[in-house]
């Protein structure tokens, strides 16, 4: 099980002395990914999704809070001692063009991490090639076709599958897929999503899925949990189906309506969520971070910060002073 408690991260801007601003990317995130579970983080560009994925995979440091992997807190450990723990969490690079070394054949790409693993676990050399073939078959490609080839000789979809096979060389407990940096086309994306779902079922590997698309989050983890991230804070979370069926935070409602417009708007207030770009973030940190875009804000929202609480008549948690079911037009799940 992997948990994060109070994770914060602020990017220091080098131009600070000249008036640049630090960027708070994560403002105290709590999460839990159970063994074999599926958790999706969704939110629009800049909400901190990629930062969170990189922190969870051990590729980025955090300022405060704690990541605990199978009961072991990471921050007291020296970087070298953290490595074996973070190895259980593999980030799947979703840019198939830069994820693989172009000068190595697929055999060489898989052989290197497998040889290390064989050395550590005392397995014979013959295991390395057998395992490479097994992993390629597992991700749905013919080992005979790809092993001797270089990445540029493969299609984008095959490259993406090789990237997943490489992540599996260390028998990870969790795969982190950051779709927001994905460069693959729609049909390929669907087949990769299907593969990840399949791997979760067959290997019991857990998934942390990062996306801006609620339909994808629904597809990848119908039985999983959904976290809605807004400007570095979780504003709503719960079982994916519950959140999608009855979102109570106006931000989640705007995401669900697929366009930044709330349907079934209540009075008073305009029926549009103000676009993020229209805000001057320097003045928007007091009170609820969403208040200035929210058609339902009250005075309280502008001065007090709501924290994540379990709603009285809601099945999941939200950070809103005025949680209410409002009618939205949900997007269809990807079939």
Ligand X SMILES: Nc1ncnc2c1ncn2[C@@H]1O[C@H](COP(=O)(O)OP(=O)(O)OP(=O)(O)O)[C@@H](O)[C@H]1O
- Shortest-Cβ-distance residue relative to ligand X: 50
Minimum distance from residue 171 beta carbon to ligand X (Å): 27
Minimum distance from residue 36 beta carbon to ligand X (Å): 25
Length of the chain: 335
Closer of 51 and 216 to ligand X (Cβ): 51
Closer of 23 and 112 to ligand X (Cβ): 23
Closer of 36 and 46 to ligand X (Cβ): 46
Minimum distance from residue 52 beta carbon to ligand X (Å): 7
Determine, following the binding rule CB under 6 A, whether residue 279 of this chain makes contact with ligand X. Answer: no
Minimum distance from residue 31 beta carbon to ligand X (Å): 15
Minimum distance from residue 234 beta carbon to ligand X (Å): 13
Where in 17-46 is the site for ligand X (CB under 6 A)? 23, 25, 43, 45-46
Burial class (CB in 10 A: 0-12, 13-18, 19+), 294: buried
Minimum distance from residue 46 beta carbon to ligand X (Å): 4
Closer of 23 and 190 to ligand X (Cβ): 23
Where in 126-155 is the site for ligand X (CB under 6 A)? none
- The 3 state secondary structure assigned to the chain is CEEEEEEEEEECCHHHHHCCCCEEEEEEEEEEECCCCEEEEECCCCCCHHHHHHHHCCCCCCCEEEEEECCEECCCCCHHHHHHHHCCEEEECCCCCCCCCCCCCHHHHHHHHHHHHHHHHCCCHHHHHHHHHHHHHHCCCCHHHHCCCCHHHCCHHHHHHHHHHHHHCCCCCEEEEEHHHCCCCHHHHHHHHHHHHHHHHHHCCEEEEEECCHHHHHHHCCCCEEEEEECCEEEEEEEHHHHHHCCCCHHHHHHHCCCCECCCCCCCCCCECCCHHHCCHHHCCCCCCCHHHCCCCCHHHHHCCCCCEECCCCCCEECCCCCCCCCCCCCCCCC
Where in 211-250 is the site for ligand X (CB under 6 A)? 212
Closer of 139 and 184 to ligand X (Cβ): 184
Minimum distance from residue 159 beta carbon to ligand X (Å): 21
What character string, x for contact with ligand X (CB under 6 A) and - otherwise, covers 168-207?
A: ------------x---------------------------
Closer of 65 and 140 to ligand X (Cβ): 65
Total site size for ligand X, rule CB under 6 A: 13
Where in 38-97 is the site for ligand X (CB under 6 A)? 43, 45-51
Do 309 and 319 contact (CB within 8 A), yes or no?
yes
Closer of 72 and 98 to ligand X (Cβ): 98
Minimum distance from residue 5 beta carbon to ligand X (Å): 19
Which residues bind to ligand X, rule: CB under 6 A?
Answer: 11, 23, 25, 43, 45-51, 180, 212
């Amino acid at each position: 099980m992997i948990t994060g408690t109070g994770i914060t991260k602020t990017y220091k801007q080098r131009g600070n002395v000249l008036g640049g601003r630090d960027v708070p990317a994560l403002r105290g995130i709590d999460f839990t990914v159970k063994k074999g579970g599926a958790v999706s983080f969704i939110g629009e560009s800049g909400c901190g999704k990629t930062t969170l994925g990189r922190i969870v995979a051990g590729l980025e440091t955090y300022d405060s809070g704690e990541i605990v992997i199978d009961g072991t807190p990471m921050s007291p450990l020296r970087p070298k001692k953290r490595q074996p723990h973070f190895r259980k969490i593999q980030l799947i690079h979703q840019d198939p063009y830069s994820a693989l070394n172009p000068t190595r054949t697929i055999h060489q790409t898989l052989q290197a991490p497998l040889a290390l693993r064989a050395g550590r676990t005392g397995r014979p050399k013959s295991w390395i090639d057998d395992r490479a073939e097994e992993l390629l078959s597992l991700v749905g490609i013919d080992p005979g076709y790809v092993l001797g080839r270089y990445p540029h000789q493969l299609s984008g979809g095959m490259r993406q599958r090789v990237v997943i096979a490489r992540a599996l060389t260390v028998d990870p407990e969790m795969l982190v897929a950051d779709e927001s940096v994905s460069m693959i086309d729609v049909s390929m994306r669907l087949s990769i999503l299907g593969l990840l779902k399949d791997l979760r079922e067959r290997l019991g590997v857990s998934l942390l899925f990062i996306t801006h698309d609620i339909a994808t989050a629904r597809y990848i983890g119908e039985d999983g949990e959904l976290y809605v991230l807004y400007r570095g804070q979780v504003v709503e979370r719960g079982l994916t189906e519950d959140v999608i069926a009855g979102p109570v935070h106006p931000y989640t409602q705007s995401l669900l309506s697929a366009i930044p417009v709330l349907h079934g708007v209540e009075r008073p207030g305009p029926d549009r969520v103000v676009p993020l770009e229209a805000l001057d973030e320097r003045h928007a940190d007091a009170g609820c971070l969403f208040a200035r875009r929210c058609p339902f804000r009250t005075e309280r929202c502008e001065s007090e910060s709501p924290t994540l609480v379990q709603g009285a008549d809601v099945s999941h948690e939200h950070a809103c002073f005025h949680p209410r079911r409002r009618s939205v037009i949900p997007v269809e799940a990807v079939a």
